[in-house]
Structure 1
Amino acid sequence: MPATHPWIAALLAALAAIGPFSIDTYLPAFPEMAADLGATRIEVQQTLTAYMVTFAAMALWHGALSDRFGRRNVILVATSLFGVASLLCAFATSIEWLWGGRALQGMSAGAGMVVGRAVIRDIFDGARAQKLMSRVIMIFGIAPAVAPMVGGALLLAFGWRSIFVFLAVFAGVLVWMSWRFLPETLPPEQRQSLHPVGLARAYRAVFSSVPFLLLIAAVALNFNGFFVYVLSAPVFVMEHLGLGPGSFAWLFVPAVAGMMGGSWLSGNIAGQWTGRRTVITGFVVMFAAVGIGVVHAAVFAPSVPWSVLPVGIYTFGMALAMPTLTIYALDLFPARRGFASSCQSFAQVGLNALTAGLFAPLLWGSPLTLGAGASVFVALGLLCFVVWAAMAKNSR
């Protein structure tokens, strides 16, 4: 398959979808897992933290490894390891065993997302890169809606262990597809050394770049405004909305529809709107969403569809802004796009891990506190973007 083939976006999106599938598919099974393994709800919740901590740590290396050994090789090895880790989770007999399996999943799950972004920038520049990035995000956006529904169906039919068997099969299919269809987009002459001194200098250059840190913080904080709902989904759907374990679609379908719509619009206006206009419009939509959500939660009892519609509006704005912010960040380090993508994922998933372990349990007590938390995240994201824009203007 040539690097510009229309199906390359679908393959890259499927590889990136390993991340949300690893999180969302097993959310409906939390109560059954706790009962089966003799664990508390918080202990089961910490399987998310174990996953995201190792995801963030290894995200620093996926890009560097792909800069050295090539994009395709890293994806093949990491996806194979994810399949093995999924089987370990399927056969867990204690919560500690499950923590270990989830940690191994986290170490390997990020390669598709991290390396995939670098592949896009290897292929295209400018508006064409934004179009492909938006297409990947649009297809990728299906995963959070499909995953909990698949997980709920497997849970009801075969029990919670079947969810991890499904993830292992999913990984196996992606390994075959990547081996068969994924091209290598990084020529050998452009590869970078893994020498410790060179890596140390690269890490220092990236993490001392204030513009880069502001951009990746804006992406991470915006995503966190939605991710807090993902992490709180069992409480939000089953307790606040009073729905059953097969009803997670009420939350995730609007969220994913918004994400796909925002990604579609971002791709279609690429080259017509300036990047800053696109990002600012995304922030306006996100602020409108959290405002509606907070007012509804303060005045009315939780209900469907009204309690979940603001989430869909929010993800529309988030997906509209995200491709442009990501390209701005990667373009700061054109010789090390894989490395820069790793650092972005490290920062984003590190914040997600903190949210999973600390913020989500503090915020999931009511729809009002969830909405207030999302408001704070998007406000901080806007602040980061405004400071970056001011610095970029002054450096001209």
Structure 2
Amino acid sequence: MWLLVLVTLSGTMAMHIFVPALPIAGAALGAAPAGMQQTITLYVLGLALGQLVYGPLSDTLGRRPTLLVGLGLYLSASVLALCAPSLQWLVVARLLQALGGAAGITLGRAIVRDTSAPDRVTKDLALLNLLTLVGPGLAPVVGAYLADHFGWRAIYLFLVGMGCIMLGCAWRLLPETHALRRPLAVKAIALDYRSLLGQPRFVAFMLGGACSSTALYPYLATSSYIVHEQLGLPISDVGWFAASTIVGASLGTLATRRLAGRLPNVYFLYAGAGLGLAMATLLLLVQLMGWLTAPWLLAITITMTFGAGLASPAALSSALSCTPGLVGAAAGLYGFGQMAMGAIGTQLVGYGSVPAVACAVTQMCITGLALGSYRFAATRQQSTLV
């Protein structure tokens, strides 16, 4: 499990670890801010697309060889990024890095589903899903420290070190967990995804889980503007406000791990999405009333991510349980949905003129969609039982 945690963290952490260093790296490479932003946008895109590939490949080739290929790509791309002499080089390296990092996210979930007993699936997946929430919050703090003290290339040196450790440990310690292999066929993969998208309950759990786990992305995208420009706090404090998401997500995931098996998954889904919607609404009201302060922002963020920690692992386990014969493909499609929703949420906040309002409205839409998706899935289950 600790190895799966490490490979999952590597993919999500590399997404936002470079954000604090964008101005420094841009000045060093002679690149405009818009160009540097591509290193983040293309990473999210690569992470989404990569997860579509690794799931079906692992169903055919096995989890171990597929993961080793992904980790090898991640390490090689990190070395390329470390040595990047230009923006174009760095953008390509980041895209390849994301395509490699997607393997850890997808296959970590598939391996847990392969090896965990039915009564432990939600608990074990909760731990891996926590990394989807913790990685984006922890990454800016680490990236800011490395860039400030050692320069922007130190970030990629750190990622190279992580890649070496992951690849070495996976090579020596990870067994094959998928006994049933299927011949590789592109048409079959397309049919697998078509089959998954044709299952309403899977789609509902995937959409709801994607919304729950990425509802914090609009906040991460606007936190520097809210914290620094609106609240007037130093730019160095932005990383700590982003890291506050770790507190709520960790507590929510811990609660799910402790209570899973005692309560039906639907309880965690409704409670988590409901909390998220309530906090997004509260953020909008506090902003419109002119009451938004640092304590209010922290309290709302921690409570919202607590809800995400409650709902996300339950949604993931419910989605994978819908498709026992297509776990790898389902894990890949689920991960694609997460990153796609994260990219949509990050993009939408850019259309608002007031960052706090844009963040709150976007989060209201995302968490409301999650709640509706969970309700639809529960209704479909009841009708199936009848």
TM-score after normalising by structure 2: 0.93
- Tell me the residue number matched to 1:118: 110
TM-fit CA distance, 1:351: 2.5
CA distance in 2, matches of 1:177, 1:298: 51
Q: Give the root-mean-square deviation of aligned CA atoms.
A: 2.0
Is contact 1:139-1:260 (8 Å) kept? no
User: Is 1:366 the equivalent of 2:358?
Assistant: no
- Tell me the residue number matched to 2:19: 27
- Tell me the residue number matched to 1:196: 186
Segments of 5+ residues of structure 1 without an aligned counterpart are: 1-7
Is contact 1:34-1:41 (8 Å) kept? yes
CA distance in 2, matches of 1:363, 1:169: 39
CA distance in 2, matches of 1:211, 1:171: 36
Q: 1:46 aligns with which of 35, 38, 43?
A: 38
CA distance in 2, matches of 1:238, 1:41: 18
CA distance in 1, matches of 2:236, 2:149: 11
- Tell me the residue number matched to 1:137: 129
- Tell me the residue number matched to 1:164: 156
Give the aligned residue type for 1:15. V
Is contact 1:138-1:264 (8 Å) kept? no
User: Is 1:307 the equivalent of 2:297?
Assistant: yes
- Tell me the residue number matched to 2:169: 177
CA offsets 1:94-147 (integer angstroms, 9 cap, x no match): 322222111111211111111111111111243311111123334665434432
CA offsets 1:314-344 (integer angstroms, 9 cap, x no match): 1110110111111111112101201110111
- Tell me the residue number matched to 2:217: 227
TM-score after normalising by structure 1: 0.91
Give the aligned residue type for 2:82. A
CA distance in 2, matches of 1:28, 1:317: 27
User: Is 1:94 the equivalent of 2:94?
Assistant: no
Segments of 5+ residues of structure 2 without an aligned counterpart are: none
Give the aligned residue type for 2:68. L
CA offsets 1:139-174 (integer angstroms, 9 cap, x no match): 665434432221111111121121112111111111
Q: Which stretch of structure 1 is more off in the superposition, 199-208 or 362-371?
A: 362-371
> What is the aligned length?
385
TM-fit CA distance, 1:79: 1.2
Q: 2:68 aligns with which of 53, 72, 76?
A: 76
Runs of 4+ in 1 over 6 A off after TM superposition: none
User: Is 1:36 the equivalent of 2:28?
Assistant: yes
CA distance in 1, matches of 2:354, 2:81: 29
Describe the SS at the equivalent of 2:60. helix
CA distance in 2, matches of 1:226, 1:256: 11
CA distance in 1, matches of 2:132, 2:52: 22
- Tell me the residue number matched to 2:197: 207
Is contact 1:220-1:348 (8 Å) kept? yes
Cα distance, 1:245–1:84 mapped onto 2, change above 3 Å: farther
Q: Which stretch of structure 1 is more off in the superposition, 246-255 or 65-74?
A: 246-255
Q: 2:206 aligns with which of 206, 216, 220?
A: 216
Q: 1:352 aligns with which of 336, 342, 349?
A: 342
Q: Which stretch of structure 1 is more off in the superposition, 299-308 or 335-344?
A: 299-308
Is contact 1:89-1:164 (8 Å) kept? yes
Cα distance, 1:151–1:219 mapped onto 2, change above 3 Å: same
CA distance in 2, matches of 1:87, 1:246: 28
User: Is 1:59 the equivalent of 2:51?
Assistant: yes
TM-fit CA distance, 1:62: 0.6
Is contact 2:345-2:362 (8 Å) kept? no
- Tell me the residue number matched to 1:107: 99
Is contact 2:59-2:328 (8 Å) kept? yes
- Tell me the residue number matched to 1:3: none
Is contact 2:196-2:202 (8 Å) kept? yes
CA distance in 1, matches of 2:229, 2:120: 44
Give the aligned residue type for 1:75. L
TM-fit CA distance, 1:304: 2.2
CA distance in 2, matches of 1:22, 1:363: 27
Q: 1:297 aligns with which of 287, 290, 310?
A: 287
Is contact 1:250-1:304 (8 Å) kept? no
Q: Which stretch of structure 1 is more off in the superposition, 232-241 or 90-99?
A: 232-241
Cα distance, 1:240–1:193 mapped onto 2, change above 3 Å: farther
Q: 1:321 aligns with which of 306, 311, 322?
A: 311
